[in-house]
Amino acid sequence: MKTVADVMQLMKDEEVAYVDVRFTDPKGKLQHVTMDVDLVDEDFFEEGFMFDGSSIAGWKSIEQSDMKLILDPNSVYIDPFYAEKTLCVHCNVVEPDTGEAYSRDPRGTATKAEAYLKASGIGDTSYYGPEAEFFLFDDVRYSVTPQKVSFQLDAEAASWNTDAEFEGGNLGHRAPHKGGYFPVNPVDEAQDIRSEMLSTMKRMGIKVDKHHHEVATCQHELGMIFGGLVEQADNIQKYKYVIHNVAHAYGKTATFMPKPMKGDNGSGMHVNMSIWKDGKPLFAGDKYADLSQEALWFIGGILKHAKSLNALTNPSTNSYKRLIPGFEAPVLRAYSARNRSGAVRIPWTESPKAKRVEARFPDPAANPYLAFSALLMAGLDGIKNKIDPGPASDKDLYDLPPEELAAIPTVCGSLREALESLEADHDYLLAGDVFTKDQLDGYMALKWEEVYAYEHTPHPIEYVMYYSC
């Protein structure tokens, strides 16, 4: 735990010139303002920084726009990309007149979720290990105008460029379609980029473990070691920041869109979760796959609330182009040990301390503070109400006979369905005032705007199917 005095000493030791004050908006985008170091003292940490909340989509209206950022000294790191030495610090948002947490602040929600776990008596610590995938391209173009709706992607390493003409020749080493998991270089063209991304994350204080090419062409993943809810949500924000900026430095562009192109695997963000109490792993036991009864109830809560969770864990219209049957992305609300075709998987491990459950349906478009908090609340609801997840599904769920497949419920098929599910099923999120009704209403209003924009725009495939009808 860092104190404000620790941060002051760090700023002196590192000869910091600026302090970058950062927070996350409801959609999950990191925002910032940069302060001259001479203005940042212990009083600044105590008093916070005022800003205009009406300029953040989904927050304050113009007549009540003043808001305050409170800096968290535990979150500081040196920015690796700025020319001037800059210390970054993540913030919670509070009401300036009362000092109370602003109900629509995502990081504040995650802070309350951790506190709710302790107050519940079920556990005192929760750990998260998110696995966010992404794509790297060389050229991205898109247009949404009355007369043109289109996008175009390209990358020299893409599987479709086996016969393309390049200056200096086409060297031909490319992973085939759906064949990117795990060939060495030169087929794996991004080894050095990913290594730089991972080492940059490590310099920023993130505990890292691995990196590799993923299944789809131009698709990649970096690994982080598990940590607490707020800590890992902060780390996902840093993860995205590093990947975007290192890619940019290499003349490439990174995206966390779940499904940026047709016909290949999409990007997920599998979330590994565990709860501990009094220094002991709550999820280790003698039930299925060496899980405890509490772990099975936790799974039951996630499966029960999966469709309303989708609004927070899969919050884009693009998310549901990944969540379709027949691909690795899980759409069936089932659980299993090692089987990757269900919504929840129990990874194999020999150590009780590593016993965890993995939600496989989330994707990296999610606001990590909201997604992790919602998963925890769903799981805790399962434990409190002893929700039975039913029998495990150890078969390949995509290879079941039609009559068996029809009996397994699914996650949502669209953002519209997810928002309707959240409207109908959200009481579990309101427990302990972790989420608030006002927060969920504001969030859903933002997401309904996205649904309407998507549904009101003609799609090129509609021209293929209907233009000559």
Binding annotation for ATP? 209, 340, 353
Structural element, H or E, at residue 20? strand 18-24
Binding-site annotation: residue ranges for Mg(2+): 131, 133, 214, 221, 270, 358
Does 340 qualify as catalytic in the annotation?
yes
- Active-site residue, from 189, 358, 363, 381: 358
Does 455 qualify as catalytic in the annotation?
no
Q: Give the amino acid at 417.
A: E
Contacts of 305 (CB under 8 A, 6+ apart): 378, 381, 425, 428
- Active-site residue, from 20, 79, 105, 133: 133
- Active-site residue, from 221, 264, 294, 381: 221
- Active-site residue, from 211, 220, 305, 360: 360
Binding-site annotation: residue ranges: 131, 133, 209, 214, 221, 265-266, 270, 322, 328, 340, 353, 358, 360
Does 194 qualify as catalytic in the annotation?
no
Q: How far is CA 231 from the centre of its chain?
A: 13
Phi, psi of 142 (to 5 degrees): -150, 160
- Active-site residue, from 107, 270, 345, 426: 270
Does 221 qualify as catalytic in the annotation?
yes
Does 356 qualify as catalytic in the annotation?
no
Long-range CB pairs of 290-293 (<8 Å, 24+ gap) are 290/352, 290/355, 291/346, 291/355, 291/357
- Active-site residue, from 47, 52, 139, 441: 52
Distance (Å, rounded) from C-alpha 447 to C-alpha 430? 19
Q: Which of 92, 80, 122 is nearest to 276 (CA)?
A: 122
Count CB atoms within 10 A of the CB of residue 150. Answer: 10
- Active-site residue, from 32, 177, 212, 340: 340
- Active-site residue, from 32, 95, 124, 131: 131
Does 358 qualify as catalytic in the annotation?
yes
Does 360 qualify as catalytic in the annotation?
yes
- Active-site residue, from 105, 189, 214, 234: 214
Q: Which residue has the tokens 């039913």?
A: 390
Binding-site annotation: residue ranges for L-glutamate: 265-266, 322, 328, 340, 360
Partners of 335 in the β-ladder: 344
Distance (Å, rounded) from C-alpha 329 to C-alpha 318? 13
> CA distances (Å), 461 to each of 146, 262, 319, 412, 458, in order?
16, 11, 18, 22, 9
Beta pairing, strands 148-154 & 139-145: antiparallel
Contact 168, 174 (CB under 8 A): no
Looking at the annotation, which residues are catalytic?
Answer: 52, 131, 133, 214, 221, 270, 340, 358, 360
